[in-house]
A and B are shown apart, each in its own frame.
Chain A
Amino acid sequence: MLHPKPHDTTSENPLIELRSVSCGYQNNSILENLSLKIMAGDFVGLLGPSGSGKSTLLRAILGTAKVYSGQILIEKTVSSKKQPLIGYVPQLETIDWNFPVTAEQVVLMGRITHSPWLPWHNHQDRKQTLDIMTQLGIRHLHNKHIRELSGGEQQRVFLARALVGNPKILLLDEPVSGMDIKTRDDTMHVLDQLNHEGITILMTTHEINSVAAHLPWVICLNKSIIAEGPPSAVFTADILNKTYNAEMPITEFEGLTIVAEKPHVFGKK
């Protein structure tokens, strides 16, 4: 089980702040008038149906989605000037697993801003890479091709690439998507450990009960923010209905809020 830090709503110094942001791609605004504060040390889950703008929100913070109005501040500075602070793990479905790279070569990519004009990686890059791989328990896999790794190991390699530049913030796009229970729990514990070491984490997820319910703070998103707060406050039938446009009954089990899907009978009238 995770041991989350509480979201400090009283803090005057948010690490990430969105002020009335509208953003999207190719003159198509996906998120409208979004205001949000992420505090240092937060571990936040971003929930919402497919197409709700979760990935777009991450990309807006990263500076790769177009911001049409409003402002995104990172440590009170416009986000595009603060990129080295952020580590990013994209959805792994986009990765070409047949690409000829080893785990170490992938992690080294995260050091590109440290010696950009050298054609090779310097000693510090390599040391940092092996250190972070050791920390994440994948040091012994450094020479392995990425396709030879298990799902959890692949996730850790990309996590290591995001961390090797020493970021303060980690953005993860569906980091536990498609994982079995054991791998998912292992990954979540690694993230929890990183959060306890001081890294602020914002992650998108579709796993309401197994992931989001254990996080200290969740944001329900569907083109705009529907609600945010601790899961116990946010996971109500009304909020989830507004977020997912579907009936999702709530129940309690051993002190945990469980979100159920309304049972359907398919194929019968």
Chain B
Amino acid sequence: MFEPFQYEFFVRGIIAGALVGALCGLVGVYIVLRKMAYIGHGLAHAIFGGAVVSYVMAINFYVGASLWGFLSAVLISLASRKRQISNDAAIGIVTTASFALGIAIISRYKSFTRSFDAALFGNILGITNGDLIAIAVVALLCSLIMFFWYKRFLFLIFDEEVARVYRLPVTIIDTIFSLILAATVVVSIQILGVTLIAAAVVIPPVTARLLSNNFHKVIFISVALGSLYSVAGMYLSYYFDISSGAAIVLFATFWFLCVSGYSWLRNR
């Protein structure tokens, strides 16, 4: 049972997974309640483009991808403020364009030898101590901001119109949230992969919402579930020899179905 823990890479992966899962669970509550569930998926694709550009231009992955993701999130936020463009349409335009740019660069530079399998599907083997530090720093900073701005975030996502009446700095809060979201997706890519991040951001809060009607509790449950899903999923990925991202998402989906069934029975 404890066999995988003898490997340093696995211990690093488990710690990173627990942190990333908790972070996605926390950020996901705000995303799901703002009805922007698709943004995690979109932003991960946008950041793929940023990652490729960073690689070609020899810029540090975290710096390049974070900046790219942040700009994409801000662009989505600006575009969706226009009445004629809905949130999902804005996400679709910005993020697929960015993803397409990444693909175009890869096909243009035939000498591009780096494998992007890990970026697409997640792989804990590649997590370095540097990655672990980056994940821990991002998780700590994001948690602190969301803790101290808890009341503001809650008011804004529940009732933006009245939040403006109370002079909440809506644009600043939106911008900071875009930054948090971009940083979350960037540090999650290694473990979850571009294609699977959306599930880690959406499944824990949706499951938590089925279990509680109280905002505080939804946050705590979502964070706990996110972390649990990641740790258990990575453990399973070791035994079944499948990608970590896929194992985490499948495990989370299984529990989502169980809780949905329980919720359905309870409400009958």
Contact = CB atoms under 8 A, between A and B. Distances in A.
Interface of A: 62-64, 83, 86, 88, 90, 94-96, 99-102, 105-106, 109-110, 112-113, 116-121, 145, 147, 161
Contacts of B209: 100
B151 A90 contact: no
A205 B155 CA distance: 26
Nearest to B147: A119
Contact of B167 (A83, A106, A110): A83
B41 to A, nearest CB: 22
A145 B213 contact: yes
Given A95-B159, A96-B158, A145-B213, A119 B33 contact: no
B15 interface: no
**Which of B149, B157, B167 has the most CB atoms of chain A within a 10 A radius of its CB?**
B167
A94 B151 contact: no
Contacts of B165: 62-64, 83, 86, 88
B215 A64 contact: no
B106 interface: no
B212 interface: yes
19 contacts: A64-B164, A83-B166, A95-B159, A96-B158, A99-B158, A99-B215, A100-B213, A100-B214, A100-B215, A101-B213, A102-B213, A109-B151, A109-B154, A112-B155, A113-B166, A119-B147, A119-B150, A119-B151, A161-B162
A101 B215 CA distance: 5
Given A99-B33, A100-B217, A116-B151, 8 more contacts: A88-B162, A90-B159, A90-B161, A100-B209, A109-B151, A112-B155, A121-B151, A145-B214
B12 interface: no
A100 B212 contact: yes
B218 interface: yes
Contacts of B149: 119
For the complex of A and B, 5 pairs with smallest distance between CB atoms? A145-B213, A119-B150, A100-B218, A62-B165, A109-B155
A33 to B, nearest CB: 25
B241 to A, nearest CB: 39
Contacts of A145: 213-214
B264 interface: no
Interface in B106-160: 147-152, 154-155, 157-159
B168 interface: yes
A118 B148 CA distance: 7
A115 to B, nearest CB: 8
Nearest to B213: A145
Contacts of B152: 112, 116
A117 B164 CA distance: 17
A100 B210 CA distance: 10
B158 A101 contact: yes
Nearest to B212: A100
Contacts of B161: 64, 90, 94
A121 to B, nearest CB: 7
**Which of A99, A113, A121, A147 has the most CB atoms of chain B within a 10 A radius of its CB?**
A99
A109 B158 contact: yes
A243 B161 CA distance: 27
B162 A90 contact: yes
A102 B166 CA distance: 20
Contacts of B157: 99
Contacts of A105: 154, 214-215
Nearest to A89: B162
Contacts of B215: 99-102, 105
Contact of A113 (B158, B167, B213): B167
A109 B159 contact: yes
Contacts of A106: 158
Nearest to A101: B215
**Which of A86, A105, A118 has the most CB atoms of chain B within a 10 A radius of its CB?**
A105
B218 A112 contact: no
Interface string B195-219: 0000000000000010011110110
A176 B176 CA distance: 37
Contact of B168 (A110, A112, A119): A112
Interface string B24-47: 000000000100000000000000
**Which of B148, B158, B165, B167 has the most CB atoms of chain A within a 10 A radius of its CB?**
B165
A118 to B, nearest CB: 8
A112 B149 CA distance: 11
Contacts of A63: 165
A112 B166 CA distance: 8
A161 B217 CA distance: 21
A118 B154 CA distance: 14
A12 B167 CA distance: 30
